[in-house]
């Protein structure tokens, strides 16, 4: 098995956790679930899948992930969300790549394909979306951004795109998506407020138009039909909300 720790952050993920862990069972020598107070069957299901469970308090996305990585038995970390499901080609690509040792300053990007209402989105914002998810923890860590956390990379690094992809079951319904994006918008506003960011009239109103132009027109989100329109509408609302929330924080 590969000396890689698959690290998954969870809270009440009983709907997703087995589907997430299953492809990696017998492939990587550690499955590590870092849990933040689940009250459903997440922990028992993870343990049945052979995962090690580490429970901790919530410290924000980046810091909680860093704490989980520090508990892993392997320095090579494959960081996944509970709603991401690896497909066979990705597993084979990873096995082939790690059939020989890799430099610790190399990071690996994985393609994600978004699934909403059982429809795989082929265009729009998720078209050819790659995320760096495999790295050596001695070289790479997560930043402390309150939302859409990112990796702090070494000065000299090489990115390798792995073949294959994960299916990203981010939202079961558009109602779920609206709630999650409203939460993310508030977190983004909080982060901007702490950095003393101000919002201009143009930024507030043009951000939504920019999202529409980029994701619906240039990235051809319209080819995903009615679901594509609903998706870009939610993204436009998120872009508007985060600046509206920031504006209201300054008015308070």
139, 156, 171: which is the final residue of a domain?
171
Query: Can you give the residue range of the structural domain that contains 77?
Result: 2-171
Got the DSSP string for 2-22?
A: EEEEEEEEESS-TTTHHHHHG
Q: In this predicted model, what pLDDT tens digit does every residue of 111-125 receive, in sequence order?
A: 999 998 888 999 998
Q: In this predicted model, what pLDDT tens digit does every residue of 177-192 receive, in sequence order?
A: 888 899 999 989 998 8
| Tokens 């690509």 belong to residue | 93
**Cβ(112)–Cβ(168) under 8 Å?**
yes
Domain shared by 32 and 137, yes or no: yes
Domain shared by 38 and 122, yes or no: yes
Number of domains in the chain: 2
DSSP state of 25: T
121, 138, 171: which is the final residue of a domain?
171
| N residues, the chain | 252
Domain shared by 97 and 164, yes or no: yes
pLDDT greater than 90 at residue 250: no
Q: In this predicted model, what pLDDT tens digit does every residue of 14-60 receive, in sequence order?
A: 999 999 999 999 999 999 999 999 999 999 999 999 999 999 999 98
171, 203, 231: which is the final residue of a domain?
171
């Amino acid at each position: 098995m590969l000396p890689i720790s698959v690290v998954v952050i969870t809270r009440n993920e009983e709907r997703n956790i087995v589907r997430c862990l299953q492809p990696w069972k017998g492939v990587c020598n550690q499955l590590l679930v870092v849990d933040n107070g689940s009250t459903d069957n997440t922990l028992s299901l993870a343990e049945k899948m052979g995962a090690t469970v580490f429970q901790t308090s919530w410290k924000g996305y980046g810091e909680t992930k860093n704490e989980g990585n520090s508990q892993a038995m392997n320095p090579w970390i494959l960081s996944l969300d509970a709603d991401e499901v690896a497909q066979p080609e990705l597993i084979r690509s990873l096995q082939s790549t790690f059939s020989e040792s890799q430099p610790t300053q190399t990071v690996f990007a994985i393609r994600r394909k978004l699934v909403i209402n059982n429809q795989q989105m082929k265009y729009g914002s998720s078209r050819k979306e790659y995320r760096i998810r495999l790295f050596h923890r001695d070289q790479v860590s997560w930043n402390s951004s309150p939302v859409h956390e990112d990796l702090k990379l070494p000065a000299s690094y090489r990115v390798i795109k792995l073949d294959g992809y994960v299916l990203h079951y981010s939202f079961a319904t558009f109602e779920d998506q609206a709630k999650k994006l409203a939460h993310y918008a508030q977190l983004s506003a909080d982060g901007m407020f702490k950095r003393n960011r101000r919002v201009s009239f143009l930024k507030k109103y043009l951000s939504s138009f920019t999202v529409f132009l980029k994701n619906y027109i240039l990235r051809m989100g319209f080819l995903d039909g009615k679901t594509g329109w609903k998706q870009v509408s939610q993204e436009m609302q998120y872009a508007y909300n985060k600046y509206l929330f920031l504006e209201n924080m300054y008015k308070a």
